[in-house]
Structure 1
Amino acid sequence: MGIRHTIVSWTRSLSGRVLISIVLIHVVLMTGLFHSVLRLVENNYTEQFVDDIRTDSQRVSQLVTYEIINNDLEKLKKFSEDLLLGGDLVSIVIKNKFGKIIYPEGTQLNEKFQEDFFFGDNGNNLYFIKSRLIANDARVVGSLQLAYDETTTIEEVDVLYKNGFVIAAIYLFIVIVFMGAVDTYLTQPLRNLTRGANRIASGKYNESFKISTNVNEVKILADSLEVMRNELVSRGEKLSDRERRIRALVNSITDAVIVCDLDGNMESVNHAAATLTSYSIEFLAKNNIGELLSFAEVSNTIKNPNADKVYETLLIDKNGEKIPVEVNVSGLTQRQGVLLIVLLRDIRDRKRNEMERYQYYNDMAHAGRLGIMGEMAAGIAHELNQPLGAISLYLQGCIRSFDSNAVDLQEIMYAINSADEQATRAAGIIRRIKGFVRKETENGNLEVVDANMLIKRSVEFVLLDTKYSIIQPELVLTSRMLEVKVDSLQIEQVLVNLIRNAIEAILSQNERSYFLKISSDIDVDGNIKICVTDSGSGVESKNINKIFDTYFSTKEDGLGMGLAICRSIIEEHDGVLQYAPSVNYGSEFYFTLPLYVANFAK
């Protein structure tokens, strides 16, 4: 199999094809040339043979004619036998003028004398010549038939052909040896160049093209290939350096980087991916990303143009632990196809911080509500004393009626009903205070409510305190139903805080005229906008950027937590709380909340 492959490879090579072509050309040309030359020499041989025997036959005819004229038969017989002893003449037949054979005696010849015109006509290796025997006076004295042997000439022609074939073989051998030398001289350097190119193609860039030859063209080719090799080495080193830099950069990224194909088969990962998943880099590079997270979600981000390129999901590590990660997917188009670059960010700390922040805000809101209730305790006690005192008076009146035996059932029923109304009022006050102070859990009380209703309830709650009840706000509420999905108590807390701050700002002016407006509407972005505008002193320009900071307060006894808590609550509800100076004087605090649309929510 190896020898056959070598022969086939050689016949397909340049040197093999050139050598085979030259040999075939010489075989065709030499065959025609040698055949022509040999035929020409053969014709010369045969023609020379024919010329010689015809000359010899004329000589013999003259001698035989002379003997017949002298009528000396014995001498004729001896002369004929002498002729047959040597040379190519093998047969003599002589007839007299009457057609009788006089030599050899006793021979009967029924057929006429035959004569050949060309060499080898009879195929019996004999050449026959007949001639008439004519005396000097033109008398016919007889006839003669001579037979000459062609064997000697045939053997000479055979030897000529054999020598010709030997010469042709020697010539072809010389041609092959010469072409082999030319092949070694010309094509061996080319083969060396080919082997060198194959070595470079296999990645052995440091092996130079060292070709020993005197052929100028091959030297130029070798020099050109050496320049190309140096350029490849230079570019390869630059690419290697660039790849090392990119890999070092990727490995320095704290996020996990995974490169996979459209089927999810991972091709390369960085160290952060191995650290995040607890798998080795080698294991990850041989497996599918679907073993770590949902590949359908990854693929959907590329196939669906409207899908979010960044989303959150859960990753399952080697130990089976579910890790929250943020996924960022992008596509990389190459000639071989499209690859997916998947960035995974560990968001466990962020989720923990969000939970802690949410818990902190709940705690602070709860503390704020308790602080507010502490400040409102006296006013609330006064408000409760009124219905409790009325209840006591109604009950005492009933007791006195029974003691005096002057029982008037209608009066007693009126007193009891009035006492019940006051008890209901007191229970309502206590229930609202209890709900306001209660600490709620995450998403525990999200409900769809009317924002205008929250405003009215908050105003009603603030006015329970006689300290604030002297200021009556103007409600400019839109007639449209403003449905919003929120934690009602938290939004009420924001409204109560803003309304109380506005009333306190108004009271600090010591002016009889005041202005407090609470409005609701839909802004240009389609969100619910609630504004609290007062006629107070406003916020100094140097403090505008600080009013929402924790522990910043312009009040002497303030904790600086009210507005910070309010902003946190609004932002947790995907809204915005902002401040703006009023058009004429005072302040305007407003916040926005997303409008709840039932069909969209579904």
Structure 2
Amino acid sequence: MTRAHAPIPAPVEAAAAIPAATAPPGLSPAVAIAVATAMVVAISVIDIVTGFEVRIGVLYLAPVSLVTWGAGRGWGFALALASTAAWTASAVVLPGFAHRGLALWDGVVLGATLVLFVELQSRLARALEHSDERFLRVLEGIDAAVYVIDNAGAMRYANRQLSRLVGEAATPTVETIAAHFTVQGERSGGAARPADWDDGTELANRSGDRRYVVQARDIPWVDRRRARLMVLTDVTARHVAQELQRNHQEAMHRTARVVALTEAASGVAHELNQPLEAIVGYNAACIRLIEQGGDLAQVRQAMEKCRAQAVRAGGILRQLRELTRRRTPEFAACNLNTKVRNALAWLEHELERAHVVVELDLAPDLPEVQADRILVEQVVVNLVQNAVDAMRDLPVTYRRLTIRTATEAGGTPCVRVTDRGPGIPAEVEDRLYTSFFTTKKGGLGLGLSICRSIVEMHGGHIGHGPGEHGGASFHFTIPAGGR
């Protein structure tokens, strides 16, 4: 009789020798060889004792698989041949086949099956090793520092870049990572343990000259336990570029404020002249009252008025200093209607001198915004000054400026400044917000560029279009409540 057997897999191209695979957990290669050999002997003995009543030849796959995985491809082939020899010997010696040739043929089939099984398992092991090797080479080759921490806070993996950053020859520990980096920015008072750093956390090294950003993800580790993958990317160059950009924008903002003050110098002189003349007048009155022996109550009243005018002059000077000094943006709740009125008060003398009539249409229920009051007023000042310049060649009766505030869809406050000038030529529309581009004689070309940078810094948008009665209409929005 013949033994049943599984179909033989298609031939597989021979592969070069590969290193011995890693033994199963708890078994060294030597132990794997010994255990597999003992299993072959046991299966062979059982096969002989049962006289083929129990067909267990397929069990030879177990020791062959064990030794292939634990000791490598060569030992797998050796044990496959040994298993085939043991099975064939028992089949030839014991009755069970009508012809000895059938027994030999069944042995050949079993041997071929075991050999192909060894080859397939070896290729699988090699593919896994190569996959791990490629993965590790990628992790070791990138500039980012990568490490894995399990839920117990133990370090499971760290690449070489992390070791270079913390100066550790061996695998860095959680303690060395925590000692080397400090949390920066808005989360500086947050978690100090590396395992607790959230995605987007900013870090600095101990010397403070390098900046990093954290990318954190929860992942299943090799034993299916949860672990946390942490990637620290060096963003020092980006941080420096952002700082330079902020300094550049701040310099542009200061330049624009100085230019605006220069253009409104006569208005500033007028504003200061009034309280100074009043102070001179009140002082003269006080001297006259004292010389004439007047009522001290009148002298005190004149001195109080003199003091009030001095305070007013000091307020004007403080406003000048605040507009021109180097400052960090300070965001606070404010109303855009108030900013419009403050800007118009600052430009009052210039508007009078240009004979421009201002029409206000301010929404009474405009939501408050989180904004820097000086910078927002600067946007309104720039837009109003541009509108005034656009109408200088018009007859006086046509010089009308409209400022409207409204709440757009989504509750976003909007300010719109509309003039009746000649409008915006089509050929310059695409360059309006470009730095140093201007159509005004003697202009610097910074006004609209700075307006855009300020508005976008607040998370808003600036745009333009034709006015209702000709001219141009510029508008900007700032999100209600904050950026």
Tell me if TM exceeds 0.5.
yes
Unaligned runs of 5+ in 2: 1-33, 89-103, 182-190
TM-score of the two chains, using structure 1 as the length reference: 0.57
Kindly provide the amino acid, as one letter, of the partner of residue 345 in structure 2. E
Letter in 1 for 2:332: E
Which of 100, 109, 130 aligns to 1:220? It is 109
Are the equivalent residues in 2 in contact too, given 1:326–1:345 (CA < 8 A)? yes
Q: What does residue range 445-594 of structure 1 map to in structure 2 within 5 Å? A: 445-465=330-350, 470-480=355-365, 482-510=367-395, 512-583=397-468, 585-594=470-479
Aligned positions, number: 415
Could you tell me how far 1:323 is from its partner in structure 2? 5.9
Confirm or deny: 8 A CA contact 2:455 2:478 kept in the other structure: yes
Instruction: Give the direction of change, closer, same or farther, for the CA distance of 1:295–1:365 in structure 2 (3 Å limit).
Output: closer
Pairing of 1:235-254 with structure 2 (within 5 A): 235-254=124-143
Matches within 5 A, 1:387-466: 387-389=275-277, 392=280, 426-440=313-327, 442-443=328-329, 445-465=330-350
Residues 373 and 336 from structure 1, CA distance in 2 versus in 1: closer, same or farther, beyond 3 angstroms? same
Structure of greater Rg: 1
Tell me the CA shift for residue 435 of structure 1.
Answer: 2.9
Which amino acid is 1:283 matched to? T
> C-alpha displacement at 1:562, in angstroms?
2.3
CA contact (8 A) 2:435 2:446 kept: yes
Asked whether 1:273 is paired with 2:162, we answer yes
With over 3 angstroms needed to count, the CA separation of the structure-2 counterparts of 1:553 and 1:264, relative to structure 1, is farther
Q: Do the aligned partners of 2:290 and 2:299 also contact (CA within 8 Å) in 1?
A: no
Q: Residue 215 of structure 2 aligns to which amino acid in structure 1?
A: N
Q: Secondary structure at the match of 1:342?
A: strand
Shift of 1:428: 4.4
Query: What's 1:325 paired with?
Result: 212
- For the structure 1 residues 559 and 340, does the alpha-carbon distance in structure 2 shift closer, same or farther, using more than 3 Å as the test? same
Range with greater deviation from structure 2 (577-586 or 448-457)? 577-586
* Residue 321 to residue 277, structure 1, CA distance change in 2 (3 Å): farther
Question: Which string of whole-angstrom CA distances, capped at 9 and with x for unpartnered residues, describes residues 511-563 of structure 1?
Answer: 63134222223322333222222223333334333322222222221222222
Q: Kindly state the Cα deviation for residue 446 of structure 1 after the two structures are TM-superposed.
A: 3.7
Kept in 1, the 8 Å contact 2:354–2:388? The answer is no
Q: Tell me what 1:135 maps to.
A: none
Distance change (3 Å), C-alpha of 1:464 and 1:206: farther
1:229 aligns with 2:258: no
Given the alignment of the two structures, is residue 359 of structure 1 paired with residue 244 of structure 2, yes or no? Answer: no
Whether 1:200 aligns to 2:68 is yes
Deviates more, 1:243-252 or 1:420-429: 420-429
CA 540–375 in structure 1, closer or farther in 2 if over 3 Å, else same:
same
Provide the rounded CA distance (Å) in 1 between the counterparts of 2:59 and 2:286: 129
Q: Secondary structure at the match of 1:479?
A: coil
Equivalent of residue 209 in structure 1, options 44, 52, 77: 77
How does 1:334-353 map onto structure 2 within 5 Å? 336-337=223-224, 338-353=226-241
- Cα distance 1:509–1:434, how it changes in 2: closer, same or farther (>3 A)? same
Q: Which residue number corresponds to residue 45 of structure 2? A: 16
Post-superposition shift, 1:495? 1.7
Distance 1:190 1:502, change over 3 A: closer
Structure possessing the higher relative contact order (Cα contacts under 8 Å, 6 or more residues apart): 2
Deviation digits for residues 37-74 of structure 1 (CA, Å, limit 9, x no counterpart): xxxxxxxxxxxxxxxxxxxxxxxxxxxxxxxxxxxxxx
The answer to whether the Cα contact below 8 Å between 2:264 and 2:347 also exists between their aligned partners in 1 is: no
**Bigger Cα displacement from structure 2, 222-231 vs 417-426:** 417-426
Measured in 1, the distance between the counterparts of 2:167 and 2:39 equals 56
Inter-CA distance 288–21: structure 2 relative to 1 (3 Å threshold):
farther
Cα pair 2:214 2:232 within 8 Å, conserved? yes
2:235 and 2:264 mapped to 1: Cα distance? 42
Deviations along 1:152-200, one digit per CA (max 9) or x if unpaired, are xxxxxxxxxxxxxxxxxxxxxxxxxxx9xxxxxx99x999987654331
What's the Cα RMSD here? Answer: 4.5
Moved more, 394-403 or 201-210: 394-403
Tell me the secondary structure at the aligned position of residue 591 of structure 1. strand
For the structure 1 residues 587 and 249, does the alpha-carbon distance in structure 2 shift closer, same or farther, using more than 3 Å as the test? farther
